[in-house]
Chain A
Amino acid sequence: MHLQSLQLRHFRNYNELLLKPGTGLNILVGENAQGKSNVLEAIYLLATSKSLRASRDSEMIQNSAGMAAVGAEVIREREGEISLEMAVLPSEKKTVRINGMKRARVIDLLGQLNAVFFGALDLGIVTAEPSIRRRYLNLEISQISPKYCFDLARFKKTLEQRNRLLRDLRDRPYRDGSLDAWNEQLFRFGAPLLEKRRFFVERLSPLAEKIHRDLSDGRETLEIRYLPGVPLPEGGDLLAIDRAFREEIERVGEEEIRRGMTLVGPQRDDLQFLINGADARLFGSQGQQRTVVLSLKLAEFRLMEEYVGEPPVMLLDDVMSDLDDLRKAHLLGWMQRRCQTFLTCTSLRDFPEEILADSHIYHISAGTVLPEGTHANSVLNGS
């Protein structure tokens, strides 16, 4: 799939932008803080309905503007052209239109456009705390399963309610019997999360292993392990997972009330990355950790491609400079495949001439796109 056009209105530092990207490599080049990454953020927003970096969605609205809007014409192999539009309002509300029709829920956007994002901060997937890894799982699985996104939102809400109840039960030892009702909601929305995450990692791990072996010249074996917050039986379907979750909640029982919080469940999930059997977070060099993330992202690309039947859009945010020559070459090789890529960088030095000749290049400065030289193409800039 690819974007035929991308339109931003009052989005971050863009007043108005219309981009007609190429179907191959699109390079966004410019100094720091000019708005290169904002373009990637906008595309990712259409894919996931979530911002990559904003803690509040209204941060994406240009200063003093009433609302921000992002739109794209997406071409998919089977479905043909789909137009997507998202508006972000100062009230933190987001509205979605698909083919011009307003949709009741933002999650309807999921699955319309698939994108893999890779940026410098993604190193945190290997090095940072477990919540970052869970966030990673959530973003990726949501893109291929809207039901996951639906269950996740309900699970989070259930967890908040249940934790509050457990705190109340701890502080006033009066039991009204409503904990069972919350347990039921916890299993109902939590068990599918455990199932989908396990499934996702089981599929992702062999793909990442193969890519990592290539990236490390065959010297390293990468294994990704899912560490569920509920001990799960080997194999087993959703029913078996549900049963294991119930048993575990039963087992921790009084302990949860004593501590006033939910102690088991997908909110405690984690991932582990093993290089030749050693935990990359603890024992990996920074170079190794970077390679793990790159393998992970490329594997994710493969998985998504397999899942949706065509390659997703690749978004690479300022990652070239962090990679050594071997990995750079590998990544460039990937991009020459049949997928549409948006890449940001501060200089074109890292790219061989034959790749540049094949690319669309956009020079970005202070929220505007300057067409330039032979690589310039149909850029309309309405500001």
Chain B
Amino acid sequence: MSGIPTMLHYAKPLARLVAELEKLPGIGPKSAQRMAFYLLRIPREEAMQLAHAIAEVKEKIGFCRECFNFTDQELCDICRDTRRDRSLLCVVSEPRDLMAMERTNEFRGVYHVLQGVISPQDGIGPDVLRIRELQARLYENEIQEVILATNPTIEGDATAFYLARLLKPLGLKVTRIAHGLPAGGDLDYADQATLVSALQWRREM
């Protein structure tokens, strides 16, 4: 049960709801209380819609057998799409990164979602991620280039390095997404870390 003292006065079911809401990412005790009171106030049907949506998502959404994106089918929409270029595979760490790439409408290849990055402090090693499955795809399919699109953080870079080491011997082209200045950005307004990295990864023209 949560540690705020006023909670002791709540009826048990309400306290339980607050405690459950508090577990959600980005939700503190105060927001949890506000949401609980809101749910109490709205009509029963509306609240049940939320409960139903949660139950449904847990029942129906699973991972794509191919790329490990979220899907309600065996294969996700992208993996089923025959117009996709199957020689080009983009590796991302989370489904939300895949969504970000998709929003660009530029990438026509397929994806592989690792479901995390290597982070010893969080107990995540390569064997926890979908790396074995990635290797299996590479052996079987016609993939020619793997784009490593993990975030440019310490953990994302370590994961990319690990994958590059692993995949290069397979005779594939392995690339890393560029990082540096944002497009349309102002040099003067860029933060120094970004500028340093843009300078380091400059290219010849």
Contact = CB atoms under 8 A, between A and B. Distances in A.
Interface of A: 101, 103-105, 107-108, 110, 146-147, 150, 154, 157-158, 160-162, 164-165, 168, 176-178, 180-182, 184-185
Contacts of A165: 120
8 A-B pairs with the lowest CB-CB distances in the bound complex, closest first: A165-B120, A181-B162, A164-B120, A181-B158, A105-B191, A181-B161, A146-B192, A104-B191
Contacts of B126: 176-178
Contacts of B165: 177, 180-181
Interface of B: 118-121, 125-127, 154-155, 157-159, 161-162, 165-166, 189, 191-193, 196
Contacts of B118: 178, 181
Contacts, number: 67
B167 to A, nearest CB: 13
Nearest to A149: B192
Given A104-B191, A146-B196, A154-B154, 11 more contacts: A103-B191, A105-B192, A105-B193, A110-B192, A146-B192, A150-B196, A165-B120, A168-B120, A178-B126, A181-B118, A184-B161
26 contacts: A105-B193, A146-B192, A146-B193, A147-B192, A150-B192, A150-B193, A150-B196, A158-B154, A161-B121, A161-B154, A164-B121, A168-B120, A176-B125, A176-B127, A177-B126, A177-B162, A178-B120, A178-B125, A180-B161, A180-B165, A181-B159, A181-B165, A182-B120, A185-B154, A185-B157, A185-B158
A261 to B, nearest CB: 13
Nearest to B154: A157
B158 A147 contact: no
Max chain B C-beta neighbours (<10 A), residue from A105, A177, A178:
A178
B182 to A, nearest CB: 11
Interface centre among A103, A157, A176 (most CB of B within 10 A): A176
Contacts of A164: 120-121
Nearest to A154: B154
Nearest to B165: A180
Contacts of A110: 192
- Candidate in B121, B127, B159 with the most chain A CB atoms within 10 angstroms: B121
Nearest to A162: B120
B161 A108 contact: no
A161 B118 CA distance: 10
A344 B155 CA distance: 45
Contacts of A103: 191
B68 to A, nearest CB: 19
A182 B125 CA distance: 12
